[in-house]
């Protein structure tokens, strides 16, 4: 089994090293990750400039490849032939913040796994609210358990998994739930300032998002101390009822 490890926090992020160490118990691991932080980058495809790879080391000294592109570029390069071996499984993370609800559209961690699904390989994204006391141990253990299942069972075409681990020691986790996406209330604010030359510039700031409760959601699972596994599908079509409503309009 050949497992590709990537992330959106950069090749030297500690969560990447923790994930690579955990996944090495299941098979051969190759780390190919961005050379800088791409958090909240979304699903990027670099087409207007060349991509470059460099031999580097992870934070724990593990050999790795860094890429000048986005997380999804890393996966595309690996699966399209830049490596000398075919990849069987793509695991992205461990992100130091949970990816819940609408976060999956922004998250480079999740969209790396999306790229795997687009290219016909199983993809898993792993996230947690990392703290100094818990670290990445719980999320790494969850990643191994999920990867084992995926390796044995496979995933349906176009499906990827978003895994979120609670901020608890492993012996306090209450179990695992298969969930749906919840909701996050984003409280973004537009901040306008002037540079030293009097020209305006803009920041999107404000408070962090607030998770909204919902039965059966990833938000609820984490709040109740469970590992959340949310299956996502690349077919983002609206429900048939919406399409039927649109067909009833006078076009």
Rounded Cα distance, 209 and 74, in Å = 28
How far is 209 from 8, CA to CA, in rounded Å?
19
200-204: average pLDDT = 93
Q: Is residue 63 part of a domain?
A: yes
* Domain-embedded: residue 34: yes
* pLDDT tens-digit map of 45-103: 999 999 999 999 999 999 999 999 999 999 999 999 999 999 999 999 999 999 999 99
Q: Is residue 66 part of a domain?
A: yes
Q: How far apart are CA 126 and CA 138, in angstroms?
A: 11
3-class secondary structure, 128: strand
pLDDT of residue 29: 98
Residue 203 forms part of a structural domain: no
On whether residue 118 sits in a domain, the answer given is yes
What SS3 state is found at 24? coil
Q: Does pTM top 0.85 for this prediction? A: yes
Q: How far is CA 184 from CA 104, 177, 212, 217, in A?
A: 11, 19, 6, 11
The CA distances from residue 147 to 22, 71, 160, in Å, are: 10, 19, 12
| 172 within some domain | yes
CA gap 4, 189 in Å, rounded: 37
Q: Nearest 5°: CA angle at 37, between 236 and 212? A: 50
Distance CA 34, CA 42 (A): 14
DSSP labels, 162-205: EEEE-SS-GGG---EEE-B--EEEEEEEEEEEE-TTS-EEEEEE
Average pLDDT, the chain: 95
- Other beta carbons within 10 angstroms of residue 71's beta carbon come to 33
| Structural domains in the chain (count) | 1
Domain assignment of residue 234, given as a range: 2-183+212-247
- pLDDT tens string 126-148: 999 988 888 999 999 999 999 99
CATH number of the domain encompassing residue 218: 3.40.1210.10
């Amino acid at each position: 089994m050949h497992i590709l490890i990537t992330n959106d926090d950069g090749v030297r992020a500690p969560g990447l090293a923790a994930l690579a160490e955990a996944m090495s118990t299941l098979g051969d691991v190759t780390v190919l990750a961005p050379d800088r932080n791409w958090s909240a980058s979304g699903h990027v495809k670099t087409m207007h400039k060349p991509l470059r790879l460099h031999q580097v080391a992870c934070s724990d000294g593990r050999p790795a490849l860094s890429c000048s592109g986005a997380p999804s570029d890393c996966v595309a390069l690996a699966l399209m032939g830049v490596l000398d071996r075919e990849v069987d499984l793509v695991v992205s993370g461990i992100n130091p913040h949970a990816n819940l609800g609408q976060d999956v559209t922004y998250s480079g961690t999740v969209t790396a796994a999306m790229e795997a699904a687009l290219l016909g390989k199983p993809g898993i994204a792993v996230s947690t609210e990392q703290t100094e006391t818990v670290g990445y141990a719980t999320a790494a253990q969850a990643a191994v358990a999920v990867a084992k299942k995926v390796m044995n069972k496979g995933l349906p075409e176009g499906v990827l998994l978003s895994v979120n681990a609670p901020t608890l020691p492993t012996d306090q986790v209450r179990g695992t739930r298969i969930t749906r996406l919840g909701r996050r209330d984003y409280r973004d604010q537009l901040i306008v300032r002037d540079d030293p030359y009097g020209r305006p510039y803009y920041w999107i700031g404000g408070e962090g998002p607030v998770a909204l409760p919902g039965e059966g959601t990833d938000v609820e699972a984490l709040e109740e101390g469970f590992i959340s596994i949310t299956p996502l599908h690349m077919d983002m079509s609206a429900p048939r009822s919406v399409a039927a409503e649109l067909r009833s309009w006078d076009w």
